[in-house]
Amino acid sequence: MKIQYKLPKPDYNLHVELVKNGWTPLREPKNLAVAILLSIPLMVIAALISIGIINIFSTISFEEFGLTPDSFSITINLSIIFLIILIIVLHELLHLVFIPNFFSSKKTFVGLNLLGGFVISEDEIAGSRYILITIAPFIIISVILPVILGIFGLLSSTVKLLIILNAMASSVDVLNLLLIVKQVPKNAILRNNGPRTYWKSK
């Protein structure tokens, strides 16, 4: 595992080698900005899923987040900033821990930058495991966690906000999941070349 601040760039020579060896590039957005734009509808859907789960256990309203028909107010302090950074780190760690042998891997990259965090592995990973890696942060933080906290009555306004923010931040992960499910055969393996994804049937 390598820690770095910049997102790894695709290696053209590696791309040529992968294609020559039967790897198929996934048809996916060419950069993060396009991916975020395309994932906006999924952002709304993911947030609504988390809100629906939270609403089973606790009331939730715009007012508790500082939104009213007449005004908008939000208090941002160091503790909120710290919690947002913490949820970003947790999100990326949940991607990371499901990568096989991530700690000893020399082809797994993890980092944080001004745009958020990233985890990329250039190791070969089974399709089912790759799907788990992709969707784990959304399922664990924004689906399972509100159920557990809701059962114990621990859904404070701050926790609700963090759960919903994670759901929205997971929209690109959900987009990637949909692209994989649509394009990649069930028995395939996947790997990355920087942010680019490739698959190959076993």
Q: Indicate the pTM of the whole model.
A: 0.90
Which residues have CB under 8 Å from 59's CB, separation 6+? none
Mean pLDDT of the chain: 91
Residue 116 has pLDDT above 80, yes or no: no
Using the predicted structure, report yes or no on whether residue 19 has a pLDDT greater than 70. yes
* The pLDDT value given to residue 50: 97
Both structure tokens of 185: 């055969």
Domain boundaries, the chain: 2-60+76-201
Task: Tell me the residue ranges of DSSP E strands in 2-50.
Answer: 2-3, 24-25
